[in-house]
Amino acid sequence: MTQASSVGPASRGGPTEVIQRAAEAELLEAALLSGAHVLLEGPPGTGKSTLLRRVASARHIPFVMVEGNAELTPSRLIGHFDPALVLSKGYVPEIFEDGPLLEALRTGGLLYVEELNRIPEETLNVLLTAMSELEINVPRLGRVAAAAGFALVAAMNPFDAVGTARVSGALYDRTCRISMDYQSAEAEQAIVDLRTDGLDPQWRAKVVELVRSTREHEDIRFGSSVRGAIDVARLAVELARMRSTPTDDWHVGLAAARVSLSGRIRLQDACDRTPEQVITDLYVDVFGAEPVAPEDHSDSDPEGSPGEP
C-alpha cells in the first residue's frame, strides 16, 4: 500500500541530525530558495530523507512525504472524491480528499517522493505537470494552484535495477540534481554512535569497517548502508545480554552480522556462495579468526605419568 505522511514543520521519524552533509544541505536549501525542484540521487542509507527533513524543519515549512512504488497511481497522488458522499452531495469541493500532491500544493510545502524510479509513468507525468505549471487541473474539482513555497524533492537509488523504471530526460530537465554518496568512516561511526548507547569505540569502528567492506567485495554487487552497522550493533547488544556475554564476543558479533547484513547485500550473478558465507568471510577479515577454545583437561589423571600405560 502507498504510504503518505504530512509531518509539518517539525519533522518526525527519528533523529534529524545530519552528519557530514553541510555542503549538500547548503546546495539543497539554495535550490529550494531559488524555486527549483530537486532530485537527490544516491544509494540507500546516505541520509537523503534525513537531509530534507532537516532543511524543511529549519525553514519551518510543511513537509509531505510519499513512498514511491507501483501502487502510487495518479488518483492516490492527487486525491479523490469520497464515493459515499458523492451519492448524496454530488461532486462538491468540500468532499474531495486531498492526496499528498494537493496537500503540498495548497500549503506551499515540500512534496518528498521516495524511490522516484519505482512509480508508474502516468503518475510521473502528473508530477511533471505540477512541477512545470505549478498547478494542476483535477476533473470535477477544477484548478488547484501552488501556494508560495511549493517544491518537489524526489529521491532515488540510480544503481538499483530491480523493479525500477528509467527516469525520463523530462524529469532531469525540470530538476536540480544533488548526488549523495556514502559518507566517510568517521561520519558513519558518528551515525552509529548517535543511534546506539554505550558501545566500545574500537568495536564500533570495526562494525563500521565490516559494513563498508561489503561495498568493495568482488562477490557483492551492492553493499550495505550504514543502517546495517546500526542493526549489527543493536542486535549484538541484545544478543549478548541474552547470552550473558560481552557485546564484543566474537560469536555474538558474527551472529548479529549475518542476520543484519545478509539481506542487505546483493551478490554478483556469478557468485556461487550464500550471502551468509560472504558475510562470514568479511567478518573474519575484520574481527579475526574464530577464537580457539582452551582445551579441557578435567578428565585427565593428574597423578599419572606420561609413561604409564
201 and 157 belong to one structural domain:
no
Distance from C-alpha of 142 to C-alpha of 139, rounded to nearest angstrom: 6
Q: How far is CA 283 from CA 20, 50, 61, 231, 237, in A?
A: 27, 29, 44, 15, 17
For residue 2, the one-letter residue type is T
127 and 259 belong to one structural domain:
no
Q: How far is CA 132 from CA 35, 47, 87, 237, in A?
A: 11, 27, 35, 50
Position 160 scores a pLDDT of 64
111 and 87 belong to one structural domain:
yes
**What are φ and ψ of residue 65, in 5° steps?**
-110, 140
Distance from C-alpha of 87 to C-alpha of 82, rounded to nearest angstrom: 9
Instruction: Place 147 in a pLDDT band, splitting at 50, 70 and 90.
Output: very high
Task: Tell me the mean pLDDT in the region 191-214.
Answer: 95
Burial of residue 134 (CB within 10 Å: 0-12, 13-18, 19+) is: middle
124 and 25 belong to one structural domain:
yes
Domain-located, residue 276: yes
Position 255 scores a pLDDT of 98
Task: Tell me the mean pLDDT in the region 278-291.
Answer: 97
Position 53 scores a pLDDT of 87
78 and 212 belong to one structural domain:
no
Instruction: Place 308 in a pLDDT band, splitting at 50, 70 and 90.
Output: very low
Q: Residue 46: which residues within 8 A CB-CB, separation 6 or more? A: 180, 181, 182, 183, 225
Of 179, 199, 233, which residue is a domain's last? Answer: 179
Q: Residue 31: which residues within 8 A CB-CB, separation 6 or more? A: 38, 176, 178
Of 144, 179, 214, which residue is a domain's last? Answer: 179
Domain-located, residue 191: yes
Q: How far is CA 169 from CA 27, 119, 266, in A?
A: 22, 15, 28
Distance from C-alpha of 169 to C-alpha of 179, rounded to nearest angstrom: 17
117 and 153 belong to one structural domain:
yes
CATH of the domain at 85: 3.40.50.300
Could you tell me which residues are beta bridge partners of residue 136? 144
Task: Tell me the mean pLDDT in the region 19-28.
Answer: 90
Domain-located, residue 93: yes
Domain-located, residue 302: no
Domain carrying residue 226: 185-287
Domain-located, residue 293: no
Position 309 scores a pLDDT of 40
Domain-located, residue 300: no
Q: How far is CA 89 from CA 92, 94, 121, 262, in A?
A: 7, 10, 33, 54
Task: Tell me the mean pLDDT in the region 289-299.
Answer: 73
10 and 117 belong to one structural domain:
yes
92 and 216 belong to one structural domain:
no
Please give the tally of structural domains in the chain: 2
What cell numbers appear for 40 in the block?
537527490
50 and 132 belong to one structural domain:
yes
47 and 106 belong to one structural domain:
yes
Question: What digits encode the pLDDT tens for the residues 158-199?
Answer: 776 554 556 778 888 999 999 999 999 999 999 999 999 989
On average, the pLDDT of the chain sits at 87
Instruction: Place 60 in a pLDDT band, splitting at 50, 70 and 90.
Output: confident
Q: How far is CA 114 from CA 37, 61, 155, 182, 300, in A?
A: 14, 19, 5, 18, 65
Residue 123 — left, alpha, or beta (φ > 0 → left; ψ -120 to 50 → alpha)? alpha
What cell numbers appear for 258 in the block?
549475518
